[in-house]
Amino acid sequence: MATNLEMDENLIKEAIELGGHPTKDAVVEEALREDVERQKQLKIMELFGTIEYDDDYDYKQQRRSG
């Protein structure tokens, strides 16, 4: 998908150098991937402390019965 973006050229150049990316497109794509992964991680972090576990649950039993 073609998209026109105005971005800080110095920032793009620095990202290309530091990340070893061959093109501006590769820099933007990597940044988007990292942002998506980070957002997913934040959503998972929001779940911590919200799930109640049964103290008597034996997860090792599931391994033995297979």
Indicate whether this model's pTM tops 0.75: no
Res 66: pLDDT? 57
Q: Block means of pLDDT (10 residues each) for the chain, length 66 residues? A: 90 96 95 97 90 82 73
In a domain, 19, yes or no: yes
Structural domain of residue 32, as residue ranges?
9-48
- SS3 sequence of the chain: CCCCCCCCHHHHHHHHHHHCCCCHHHHHHHHHHHHHHHHHHHHHHHHCCCCCCCCCCCHHHHHHCC
Residue for token digits 């501006």? 24
Is residue 61 a part of any domain in this protein?
Answer: no
Count of the separate structural domains present in the chain: 1
16 falls within a domain: yes
Per the domain annotation, does 27 fall within a domain? yes
Is 57 a domain residue?
no
Is residue 59 domain-resident? Answer: no
Structural domain includes residue 65:
no
Please check whether residue 38 lies inside any domain of the structure: yes
